[in-house]
Structure 1
Amino acid sequence: MTDFVLVAGAWLGAWAWQEVVPHLRAAGHGAHPLTLSGLAERHGIPAGQQTHVQDIVEAVERQDLRDVVLVGHSYSGIPVGQAAGRIGDRLARVVFVDSDVPADGESFVSTWWEGPEKLAAVLAANGGFWAPLTEADCAGQDLTPEQTARLVGGATPHPGASLAEPAVLARPLGELPATYVKCLLDGPEPGEAVARLLDGGRWRLAEMDTGHWPMFSRPDDLARILLEAAGEGRGN
C-alpha cells in the first residue's frame, strides 16, 4: 500500500483534494491531504517556507507512513521538494503537479516576481499575506463556474513569509525519483529548471490537457496519474 501525502498550492488546504482522495483510497492506498500552517483551518498560525517543510516531514513521521508518494501542487512543490530529501527511505516518489521546484538558496519568488520591493508592497497592502486568487485568475483553466466558485470561495490568504524564504535542499532534486505533471492550459512546456531535471534520467513527464488546478477540473485523471506514479515508485 502506498501512502499519498497531498499538499495543495498557495491559498488552499486539504479540502482541495476531496475529489481525488476517494479514487486513491478505492485503489487500496492511503491518502493523507495536508493543510499547511497558516492556511484554511490552520489560518492564524505564523508560517514561513521552512515551517511548511516541517509540516510535511512531521505529518509523515507522526503517522509512521511508509512507501510515501509526496504530491506538491503549485507553490507546494517548493516545500514538498525539500521534505522529500528529509524523509529517507520512507520516500517512494515525488509528484510535482504544475508546480515550482526548489533551488537551494532560492525562494518561491526568486525567478518570477518583480523584485523584493514589489513583493514587500503587495504583502504590506494585505496585512503580510498574499491575497487569495480571484475568478479572473481562473479564466481559461478548464474550470466550470461551479468549480471556480468552490476554488475561489475556499481560498484563504497565503502567509507572505513563505514566499521569500530560501529553500534548503538536503538532497539534490535530480537524485529523487519524481514525476512532473504539466498542465498544458497553464503553459505548453515545463520551465527551464524542470526541463533540466527531466533530462537527468530519474524524472518522468506526464501531461494533462487541463488548467492549473487539475484536482478541481480533472480529479479522476489526476488520480490515475498519481496511481501510475505509485507503481513507478515501487519499482525504484
Structure 2
Amino acid sequence: MATYVLIHGAGDASYWQRLVPELRGRGHDVVAPELPSDDDAGLAGYTDTVLSAIGDRTDLVVVAQSLGGFTGPLVCDRVPVRLLVMLCAMVPTPGETAGDWWGNTGSDQARREQAVRDGRSPEFDVVETFFHDVPPEIVAEATAREPRNESASMWTDPWPLQAWPDVPTRFLLGRDDRFFPASFLRRVVRDRLGIVPDEMDGGHCPALSRPKDLADRLEAYLLEESAG
C-alpha cells in the first residue's frame, strides 16, 4: 500500500473528490490537503501544509496538479518520496516565480493560439477552458462554490531549489487540455525536465473528468517503479 499525496492547483482540494475514492478503493492511503489562502503563506506555507498532512506516513507518491507543480518538488526535497507525478502541471526553474512562469513559457499565447485552431474564442472562460469535459453536476458544484483565494506571495516567491529533486519523475498531460495545450507542455517538459511526457485523453482536470483512467495511470506508474 502506498500513500498518494495529492497537491491541488489554483482552486481547492475538492479537485480530487472523484480520484480519492478510486485510489482508496485500490487499497491505498490518500492525503489531499487544503492549501492555505493567507497572503503570507507562499511556497513555504504550501509545502509545510502538505508535510503536516503527510505526518509520519511513508511510501509516498506525490501527485502535483497545475500550479501544484511549484509545490510538489519542494515536498520531495524535504521527505523521502517514491515517485513524483506532475499532472498537467507548471514546471518551475530555479529562482522563477509562479507569476513570471506564464510569460517565461509563453503559456497564454499557446492557449490563445490553440483556441483559434480549435475554432473557439481565444478569451479565457473558466467552464470552456477548465471544465469542458467534466460531468455537468460536478461543474455546477465547482462554479457554485465560493472560490478559494490563492496566497498572494505564492505568485511572487522565487522557486528555491537549485535543481530538480533526486526523485523519479513522470509527467502526465491531457491531450485535450485547453489551458496548457499538449503541444505547449511537450515543449516545456522537454526543455525543463529533459523527459518525454506521457499523455491521456481529457482536458486540464482529469481527476474530475476521468478519475478511473487517471487512477489506472497512477497505478501503472507505481507498478513500473516497483519493478525497477
Q: TM-score, normalised by structure 1?
A: 0.77
Structure 1: distance between partners of 2:165 and 2:53: 24
Classify 1:153/1:191 alpha carbon distance in 2 versus 1 (closer, same or farther; 3 Å).
farther
Q: Residue 130 of structure 1 aligns with which residue?
A: none
Aligned residues: 202
Cα pair 1:214 1:222 within 8 Å, conserved: yes
Q: What is the SS of the residue equivalent to 2:63?
A: strand
Q: Residue 128 of structure 2 aligns with which residue?
A: 139
Q: What is the SS of the residue equivalent to 2:102?
A: coil
Q: Which of 79, 86, 90 pairs up with 2:71?
A: 79
Q: Residue 102 of structure 1 aligns with which residue?
A: 92
What are the equivalent positions in structure 2 for 1:112-191 lying under 5 Å apart? 112-113=102-103, 136-139=125-128, 141-154=132-145, 155-169=147-161, 172-173=163-164, 175-186=166-177, 187-189=181-183, 190-191=185-186
Q: CA deviation at 1:176?
A: 2.4
Q: CA deviation at 1:181?
A: 1.0
What are the equivalent positions in structure 2 for 1:10-89 lying under 5 Å apart? 10-13=10-13, 15-38=14-37, 44=38, 46-60=40-54, 62=55, 64-87=56-79
Structure 1: runs of 5+ lacking an equivalent: 39-43, 115-134
Q: Deviations over 1:80-112 (max 9, x none)?
A: 11211221xx31000111010221111112131
**More strand by proportion, 1 or 2?**
1
Q: Deviations over 1:136-194 (max 9, x none)?
A: 22205312332222222333222221012111126x32742011110122212325341
Structure 2: distance between partners of 1:19 and 1:165: 31
Q: Which of 199, 209, 214 pairs up with 2:201?
A: 209
Percent sequence identity over aligned pairs = 27
Q: What letter is aligned with 2:127?
A: C
Q: What letter is aligned with 1:57?
A: L
Classify 1:206/1:191 alpha carbon distance in 2 versus 1 (closer, same or farther; 3 Å).
closer
Q: Deviations over 1:2-61 (max 9, x none)?
A: 100111110212x221211111111111111111112xxxxx57421221122222322x
Structure 2: runs of 5+ lacking an equivalent: 105-123
Structure 1: distance between partners of 2:170 and 2:141: 27
Structure 1: distance between partners of 2:136 and 2:173: 23
Q: What letter is aligned with 1:102?
A: P
Classify 1:104/1:138 alpha carbon distance in 2 versus 1 (closer, same or farther; 3 Å).
same
Structure 1: distance between partners of 2:202 and 2:44: 30
